Structure 1
């Protein structure tokens, strides 16, 4: 079978540079997590979230002035909605019913009786439970993906794919930690869907590598490296078009979506970009490294005719 195709860039040749960059970003992310931790939203720490509709357009400073008048000067609200008439305020403590009513009355005093509010309260126990379940969800997804790839392909593909998808998930976490972006439940959904999209790219590439490996004869590491590089470029168009299609949707959500969905869309964009990068620059070259360490099978002695 002829697997040759046009190669525009030798990804395999520069694999050590990609590995070094990925390791550096991982170390930077780990340091950020140790020093700054994550900027957890109210979903993962005890507190109260209030979404207030006032029925009139207002600015962030207007909302902040009202909250200051109600005794919450340290809270920084965000203003959104189609008409710029919704205020989202997050409090680090669990508010009493009297305090919630006090805030509502403060907005009603300025904007009238049409003011309405939705209140979400997370207790310390609930926040801790959500954090544990999030970690378990990511680990279970990773293990099941590794088992699937191991059954369909072989253990080297499984190891390379799992390292790459865990890297993709960690890149999203690391960048949110470095830039102090808020982490909430939609963020976790973005991380889990990132893992799903990421493994799809890797399966496409690995399937082509396996096909080329089956029909080709490779006598040395150089020929094997060339086959991997050819496989990457044979699947390049499909992977790029797939990622771009979803990236455009995520970008539209980020630009035109409400405030509550912007960080979800941003996490998706980061995860998709990282997934495309890791599939080409980490997973396939890493499989090649593992394959290169495979010990050749000992030749069986020829049987002599009796």
Structure 2
């Protein structure tokens, strides 16, 4: 009885009989297309940095549903209506982002105008970032992502081998860039919570990738890999065996992220959206990018045979 259980653990049943490696070129093409569009968007439009990453003042107005016209009236009364700014109305909280820093006198006038136009129940919260702090935050955010990536490379190299590490880091950078590209294309605001989301996505992405790689390594121990077709079969089998687990893991976190996106406050809206996008790309890259990349790297050291080997289920 114990031996049967161990056999099931060592050789789980394959439920997804699909040739992931064969169709990987289509997924590479899709990723390359989005990457090119993202690069063009970044060069032309750049990122829509929030007040966290560029100097200026961000004003949050807590009040009932406000229209853009009502907010403009408040700003006109405070003498700020002609400033360079972006107005974002909301159901419970609206925001105004000024490209320059509001002085204490400006802030006092604005708070008085809010009380005068919207009533005593309305309140304001003003956050200001100067140029030096904005540059430092941007630099530290980049360093955080690079340090996390370097740590993952070292970990995967020690636990597996360098080919696994290369494939994992390419998939990881792919996921991070996909989120950045989507935010650039649709001109969504990038703030500190966006960076937190990126680091979280990196963690979930590498987790899914390592699970598949661990299955590949285990199957390689028992498989007699003599040709690329043998290696092809092993990688397909490994992905198939972990597919259900990967989908279930990502789906549970995805549901939580969608709930935060729908019911969460404006302050975490961009964080939730980045998480939703990143989780989808993270699951996609672990299955369709990382594993096929490892196959390409490993396959260079394996002979080619015309007769394909059959994968054992």
- TM-score of the superposed pair, with normalisation by structure 2: 0.89
Q: Does residue 41 of the first structure (1) align with residue 87 of the second (2)?
A: no
Pick the aligned partner of 1:70 from 54, 75, 78: 78
Q: Does residue 27 of the first structure (1) align with residue 36 of the second (2)?
A: yes
State the distance in 2 between where 1:75 and 1:134 align: 25
Residue in 2 aligned with 1:121? 128
CA change 1:286–1:91 in 2 (3 A) is same
CA change 1:209–1:46 in 2 (3 A) is same
Alignment check: 8 A CA contact 1:64 1:75 kept: no
Alignment check: 8 A CA contact 2:16 2:243 kept: no
Query: Which string of whole-angstrom CA distances, capped at 9 and with x for unpartnered residues, describes residues 100-152 of structure 1?
Result: 11111111112333443221110000000011111111110001000000000
Shift of 1:185: 0.3
Residue in 1 aligned with 2:18? 9
State the distance in 2 between where 1:278 and 1:114 align: 48
Residue in 2 aligned with 1:249? 256
Query: Which string of whole-angstrom CA distances, capped at 9 and with x for unpartnered residues, describes residues 17-58 of structure 1?
Result: 21122112112111111111100010000000112234x553
Shift of 1:228: 0.4
Shift of 1:208: 0.2
SS in 1 for 2:126: strand
Gaps of 5+ in 2: 1-9, 304-313
State the distance in 1 between where 2:216 and 2:270 align: 36
State the distance in 1 between where 2:15 and 2:246 align: 16
Alignment check: 8 A CA contact 2:198 2:274 kept: yes
Residue in 2 aligned with 1:59? 67
- TM-score of the superposed pair, with normalisation by structure 1: 0.91
Shift of 1:11: 1.0
State the distance in 1 between where 2:169 and 2:261 align: 28
Comparing 218-227 with 206-215, greater Cα deviation is found at: 218-227
1:80-159 matches, cutoff 5 A: 80=90, 84-159=91-166
State the distance in 2 between where 1:236 and 1:6 align: 8
State the distance in 2 between where 1:257 and 1:71 align: 33
Alignment check: 8 A CA contact 2:179 2:277 kept: yes
CA change 1:2–1:57 in 2 (3 A) is closer
Alignment check: 8 A CA contact 1:104 1:115 kept: no
Alignment check: 8 A CA contact 1:58 1:79 kept: yes
Alignment check: 8 A CA contact 2:93 2:266 kept: no
SS in 2 for 1:77: strand
CA change 1:95–1:37 in 2 (3 A) is same
Pick the aligned partner of 1:279 from 279, 282, 286: 286
Residue in 2 aligned with 1:18? 27
1:148-297 matches, cutoff 5 A: 148-294=155-301
Two-structure CA RMSD over aligned residues (Å): 1.7
